[in-house]
Amino acid sequence: MLIVKTFHDVPSKLDNGRPIRIFVVSPVVPNYPRAKFPGVVCFSEIYQVTGPVERFAGQIASQGYVVACPSSYHEFEGPEAIPYDTEGTDRGNRYKIEKDVTAYDEDATLSVDLLVSLPNCNGRIAATGMCLGGHLAFRAAFDPRVLSSVCFFATDLHSATLGKGKNDNSLARVHKGDMTGKGELVMIFGKQDTHVPREGRDLIRKTIEDAKVPCSFLEVQAQHAFIRDESSKGRWDAALTRSLFTFMMEVFDRTIGRDLGPKVDKGEQVEHVC
């Protein structure tokens, strides 16, 4: 499916009105200008919306989804991508713990708000992201409008060290039940990822399962950043990325790709129409 790219500058209430740039990649069907599609928020790594993130979003959009990619560090600088070098890595990591968790949450809310307001989006929303973005996609699942989240190697989740003060409440909120009864999760980690050790992955899995959140928990033979097709320092695994992309699209197709009507509790009488 063909795609087009644009962006929207959306004012932020928590940053004195300073806008966040949200890049949007949309599918296009020739001769069907009023076509509507589900939406996906795609959260980036610490480098903002880079080439690999934009290409990842484009692949999702080409499957028939409107994809919104927020620039996570609009409080500190413009929407341009941060370089994949030592200085850029240091800068992105510094911003990551200077930004309030509430500001990350506002970015997610603004991104979902934007998607549901677009004339080519039908209002059915999912989320995905990698690294920092994996954690942000996880937090996006607290929003009841987000029907599924696919999180690639979410960092700082097990250690609760996201944001200013390095003291986030992501797993604590899950334990409290804030994610129970909402959307579906997919957590994907590489077993050789030094950012999230085995003990951390076990903690994440246990917290999610104890809260009875529907989740597929995948541990694969890969390192951190294995889906990044540029400057991955020898970690990119194209074949594994393709396989997991297919897995992700099955989840999106099933959870937001169709209008299934209202959810019915188990045991409730349902009339099937053939």
Sequence-ordered list of residues with C-beta below 8 angstroms from that of 215, at least 6 positions apart, any chain:
184, 185, 186, 187, 205, 208, 209
Cα 70 → chain centroid: 10
Q: What is the CA radius of gyration of the chain?
A: 18
Assign residue 163 a region: left if phi > 0, alpha if psi is -120 to 50, beta otherwise?
A: left
Neighbours of 171 (CB within 10 A): 20
Of the candidates 107, 143, 168, 193, the residue annotated as catalytic is 193
Indicate the angle between helix axes 238-255 and 51-62, nearest 10 degrees: 50
Quick check: is 42 catalytic? no
Quick check: is 74 catalytic? no
The C-alpha atoms of residue 187 and residue 129 are separated, in whole angstroms, by 11
DSSP structure string for 136-151:
HHHHHTTSTTEEEEEE
Of the candidates 131, 135, 151, 168, the residue annotated as catalytic is 131
Strands annotated E in 32-140: 37-43, 66-70, 121-130
For the annotated catalytic residues, the residue numbers are 131, 193, 224
